[in-house]
Amino acid sequence: RPEVPMPDAPDTPSASPWWRLWRDWLAPHWGLLAISLAMTWLVALSTGGYSKLIQLVMTAFQDKDASVLWWGPLGVVALSGASAVGQYWKEVTGNRVTNRMETELRKTMFARLVGSDLARLQTEAPAGLAARFSSDIGLIGTAVRSMLGGVTGILTIVVTVAVMLSIDWQLTIGISLIFALALIPVNRIGRRLRRLAKSTQAEVASMTSEVTEGLSGIRMARTYRLEEPLAENAGLVFERLFGLRIRQARWQARVAPMMEALIGAAVAVLLFVVGLRIQSGTITVADFTGLLTGLGVVAGPARRLGGNFATVQQGAAALDRVFLLFDAENTIVDGPDRIERAIGQIRFEDVHFAYPDGHVALDGFTLTVDPGQRVAFVGRSGAGKSTVFNLLPRLYDPTGGRILLDGHDLRSLTLASLRDQIAVVSQESVLLSGTVAQNIGFGRRDALRAEIEAAAAAAAAD
């Protein structure tokens, strides 16, 4: 069974979803993340440096300094070149880390699912579980990319504001306070988007299940002319998903106009105050141009930060769903003992069993099967025939009584040693990806080619 990272208990301080994501899936790639961060700083410094360069160029123009004709353009080329190099390597390293994170999350999720209790797996349709691999983990990857982009935006804003402070600290503080007004509504929008994202992801899983079930049973549906009810049921799911998407889009659409309005307000304040100060002679046109350039540089990242925040909230909802699956505790666990080769006596002692939905399948079932004895179970549907066989390999455990193999309580045995004693020929045919030989030898992965061919011949499948 694949090794899976064991998550912290949900009530521990370190169990914050983003902290767990960092610790278990991002921190192992700290080298690439360090390069990405260094490139982020390069982008921020080169982008934020434009406002200072423009101020210096305008000052040189005012002083009629002819040397600006060569160092001004060179400065622009140097800053844009540094920004381009930083952007490229930031994207390359950041995408490598996030794609590796998505891959490891999918591997861990699959390992957890195939190792989960059967009762847990049957609470959600296989198609719905499969949707988590694309939709939930895809949203987490998008959120992490948005966070990396947000870091670039924040550093660019910090560097640019520092430059603007060096030009005129009073005006810069006033402009910064205007942008700070966005924090309250953006945070409220983010909380709403997180709740909507959870509902949307659950509906995506329902849609996938509905489509898969409808298409997989198409032969029966056509035989009994059930195409219309199937289409109606699927249509209801599609409409619910549509409604959730529209609500999500409406809330997300509020961020950009709000940031645009704040940027406009900042420019208006800047123009008004600078106009007064130019008349009084307390600020130069070069300083004003530098501040205006800085505000233009800040405007782009500020607009994107609102969208980044909304995307991160949707990723947080997907992360909650993924970790909820990771944190599910198995009740079918290994016992302390091993059994090497069973003789084959099976004894059911006053066994009771009820499924999670409350259906009672066995009530005081008692039976002894001796080695070599053949026993057939005959009865109506739901009488408990399949349940008896599901209890033997411990796909479920009895809710009362016990089952013994050669005198050993099944719960006292390791799952591997117990299941090595059991062979199953199911009424359902299961073919896995691979060759015919691999499918025949699936129950014994160490089977030799000659043994596989002998099995095929014994089954008249050679």
Please report the pLDDT score of residue 184 as a whole number. Answer: 66
Confidence of residue 12 (pLDDT cuts 50, 70, 90): very low
Query: Biggest alpha carbon distance in the chain?
Result: 107
Average pLDDT along the chain: 82
Q: Which residue has the higher pLDDT, 20 or 135?
A: 20
What are the residues whose beta carbons fall under 8 Å from the beta carbon of 70, sequence distance 6 or more?
A: none
Answer whether 40's CB lies under 8 Å from 66's CB.
Answer: no
Answer whether 98's CB lies under 8 Å from 36's CB.
Answer: no
Amino acid in the structure at residue 330: N
Average pLDDT over residues 303-330: 81
Q: Where are the alpha helices (DSSP H) in 168-182?
A: 169-180
Check whether 3 has a pLDDT greater than 70.
no
CA distance 202 to 199: 5
Please report the pLDDT score of residue 49 as a whole number. Answer: 84
At 368-394, the pLDDT tens digits run 999 999 999 998 888 888 899 899 999
Answer whether 121's CB lies under 8 Å from 205's CB.
Answer: no
Which residue, among 419, 426, 461, has the nearest Cα to 444 in the 3D structure? 419
Task: Specify the 3-state DSSP secondary structure of 408.
Answer: strand
At 257-285, the pLDDT tens digits run 776 677 777 777 777 777 777 777 777 77
- Helix orientation angle between 30-62 and 285-326, rounded to the nearest 10 degrees: 170
Q: Is the pTM of this model over 0.85?
A: no
Please report the pLDDT score of residue 355 as a whole number. Answer: 85
Q: Which residue has the higher pLDDT, 229 or 137?
A: 137
Compute the 3-state secondary structure of the chain and give helix, strand, coil in percent, each to the nearest 5: 70, 5, 25
Q: Among 38-42, 137-141, 248-252, 373-377, which stretch is predicted with the lowest mean pLDDT?
A: 248-252
274: tokens are 């600078």
Which residue, among 444, 146, 114, 88, has the nearest Cα to 310 in the 3D structure? 146
Kindly list the strands in the beta sheet with 346-354, ordered across the sheet, starting from the edge strand earlier in the chain. 360-369, 346-354, 400-405, 408-409
Give the N- to C-terminal CA distance of the chain in Å, as an integer: 31
Answer whether 156's CB lies under 8 Å from 297's CB.
Answer: yes
Which residue, among 226, 269, 415, has the nearest Cα to 333 in the 3D structure? 415
Cβ neighbourhood burial of 374 (10 Å; 0-12, 13-18, 19+): exposed
Q: Among 71-80, 145-154, 276-285, 426-435, which stretch is predicted with the lowest mean pLDDT?
A: 276-285
The length of the chain is: 462
Reported for 330-335, long-range contacts at CB under 8 A and 24+ positions apart, including other chains, are: 330/115, 330/116, 330/117, 330/120, 331/117, 331/119, 331/397, 332/117, 332/118, 332/394, 332/395, 332/396, 332/397, 332/415, 333/415, 334/414, 334/415, 334/416, 335/409, 335/410, 335/411, 335/412, 335/413, 335/414
Amino acid in the structure at residue 69: L
Average pLDDT over residues 195-222: 73
Confidence of residue 412 (pLDDT cuts 50, 70, 90): very high
Query: Which residues on neighbouring strands pair with residue 400, listed in sequence order?
Result: 352
